[in-house]
Amino acid sequence: MPTRVQSWAYVDPTATPRIVTETVPGPKSQALNARGMRYMVGYSSQVTLCPVVFEKGHGVTLTDVDGNTYIDFSSGICVTTLGHCHPKVSEAIASHAKNLMNCHDFNTPVKVALLEKLAETQPWDLTGVQFYDSGTTAVEAALRVCRAATGKAEFISCYMDFHGKTGHAVSCGRMNPTYGVGRSQGFYMVPRPDPYRPLFTKADGSIDTDAYIQFFSDFIEHATTGNVAAFVLEPVQGWSGSIFPPADFFPKLRQFCDKSGILLVADEVLTGMGRTGKYFCMEHWNTRPDIVTVGKGFGNGFPVTAMLVSEKYKESIDKISASTSYGGNPMACAAALASIEVIEEEGVLEHAQDLGAYFNERMVAMKTSHPLIGDVRGMGCLLGIELVKDRATKEPFAEAGKLVYQRAFQKGVAWVPAGHMLRMSPPIVMDLEIAAKGMDIIEESIAEVEGELGY
């Protein structure tokens, strides 16, 4: 079991979490929110369902303005993978903030060091790089590179995928930010294998990956013009509740893409840079993507993202006018470089794998005693619990998800709501004792909600 303590991030498990106000949010949070919410509009449900005001983050904990300290089970939104304010990352950002903040896309010593370091992190030849400042812009750039590289215009992505909220990136995912305008021309969606809710199964009831691949082939023939540039996929569907594909899906999709002359884009904005216990999630399935996007944990909180393109297609980056105002600025590169160095120096990938084993064992045990839980899954520190009204019908139970989210938050676990899914993405530097405490609180909250709902 993983008990390693990352000394800078140590918190006393007997005193964490610590809720000192009668209500959560406490009075100071309420007062500040009243002021902020006069102007700021468009908060996520993470905030509206539990509107506390955070003041400080340290390692695996967050503290609000009322002095309540929470265990962080979301890392922002899968961003602070190495915990809040890692001293090495904070120092790297601060020293560059004092020295040189921006010089457009000129090379700087720290950018060159990051480029060389990035090449060392991967088992592939993704040597064509551009840096950006959000996951969405990196995805948009990747789509443009695909078109430039192949001379083809169409894209295929999957139901429940999420790749960003603007322009073409949104056309690779859910449509709710488009106000009924719909998907951009040439963007198509297909179902992908979800082991808990499979569409295609074999006679023995197991998921039939070959049937999905056959469906893709038929779909391309009948629904597209045959002009498909790329498949764009999340390795694990994060936003949708940590949905993991069967182990044979990506290797088979790779073969299909090769056979069909289609590129494979792995959007690792959420899964990349250690979240699942490897630098890149696609490594788990030994599958080489043609293009990878990374973000979130890449700068451990600093807005820095990247598009990595394989050697074969990297010249196409030159055709897309790839640079931006902030991409690759010295502070951003320093944050990303320091984060990779921390991963190397502190052995946190192995720790994330150990933690993943603990979380999985714990969630499987929880499922046996809580009828509200329909399915559990996880890899490293990317975890999901699906709440259902009835295990036989698998009907999603969104109201239960909301109640469990709020209850656990009030007891000291800061995390993310997602309808009937409980999404958990703690920092990968978490000690076992604190991880266990967080899971105790989540289980206790599920039990209380079950009691209230008459289970």
Ligand X SMILES: Cc1ncc(COP(=O)(O)O)c(C=O)c1O
Residue from 93, 139, 170, 381 binding ligand X (CB under 6 A):
139
- The minimum distance between CB 178 and ligand X, in angstroms, equals 15
Q: How many residues bind ligand X (CB under 6 A)?
A: 14
By CB under 6 A, tell whether 281 contacts ligand X: no
Residue from 269, 273, 332, 421 binding ligand X (CB under 6 A):
269
- Asked if residue 18 lies in contact with residue 72, where contact means CB atoms within 8 angstroms, the answer is no
- The minimum distance between CB 74 and ligand X, in angstroms, equals 12
By CB under 6 A, tell whether 295 contacts ligand X: yes
Q: Which residue is nearest to ligand X (CB)?
A: 135
Q: How many CB atoms lie within 10 A of CB 25?
A: 21
Q: If you ran DSSP here, which 8-state letter would residue 183 be given?
A: P
**Six-digit token string for 307:** 């598009």
Q: Is the dihedral of CA 20, 21, 25, 28 positive or negative?
A: negative
Residue from 46, 61, 136, 276 binding ligand X (CB under 6 A):
136
By CB under 6 A, tell whether 446 contacts ligand X: no
Pairwise CA distance, residues 325 & 391, whole Å: 50
- The minimum distance between CB 164 and ligand X, in angstroms, equals 4
Pairwise CA distance, residues 6 & 11, whole Å: 10
By CB under 6 A, tell whether 308 contacts ligand X: no
Pairwise CA distance, residues 173 & 190, whole Å: 10
By CB under 6 A, tell whether 234 contacts ligand X: yes
By CB under 6 A, tell whether 162 contacts ligand X: yes
What one-character-per-residue DSSP string does 241-303 give?
T-BPPPTTHHHHHHHHHHHHT-EEEEEETTTTTTTTSSSSGGGGGT---SEEEE-GGGGBTB-
By CB under 6 A, tell whether 267 contacts ligand X: yes
Beta strands in 373-439 (DSSP E): 373-379, 382-387, 413-414, 416-418, 421-424
Is 149 strand, coil or helix? Answer: helix
Compute the radius of gyration of the chain from its Cα atoms: 22
Q: How many CB atoms lie within 10 A of CB 369?
A: 11
By CB under 6 A, tell whether 304 contacts ligand X: no
Q: Is the dihedral of CA 367, 368, 370, 374 positive or negative?
A: positive
- The minimum distance between CB 430 and ligand X, in angstroms, equals 21
Q: Which stretch binds ligand X (CB under 6 A): 39-47, 265-273, 392-400, 433-441?
A: 265-273
By CB under 6 A, tell whether 419 contacts ligand X: no
Type and span of the H or E element at 232: strand 228-233
Q: x-or-dash pattern for ligand X, window 187-226, by CB under 6 A?
A: ----------------------------------------
Residue from 238, 246, 327, 380 binding ligand X (CB under 6 A):
238
By CB under 6 A, tell whether 135 contacts ligand X: yes
Shorter beta-carbon distance to ligand X: residue 70 or 302: 302
Pairwise CA distance, residues 8 & 5, whole Å: 9
Shorter beta-carbon distance to ligand X: residue 267 or 450: 267
Shorter beta-carbon distance to ligand X: residue 383 or 449: 383
Is 446 strand, coil or helix? Answer: helix
By CB under 6 A, tell whether 74 contacts ligand X: no
Residue from 216, 239, 326, 415 binding ligand X (CB under 6 A):
239
Shorter beta-carbon distance to ligand X: residue 85 or 304: 304
Q: Which stretch binds ligand X (CB under 6 A): 128-136, 257-265, 344-352, 374-382?
A: 128-136
Where does this chain bind ligand X (CB under 6 A)?
Answer: 134-136, 139, 162-164, 234, 238-239, 267, 269-270, 295
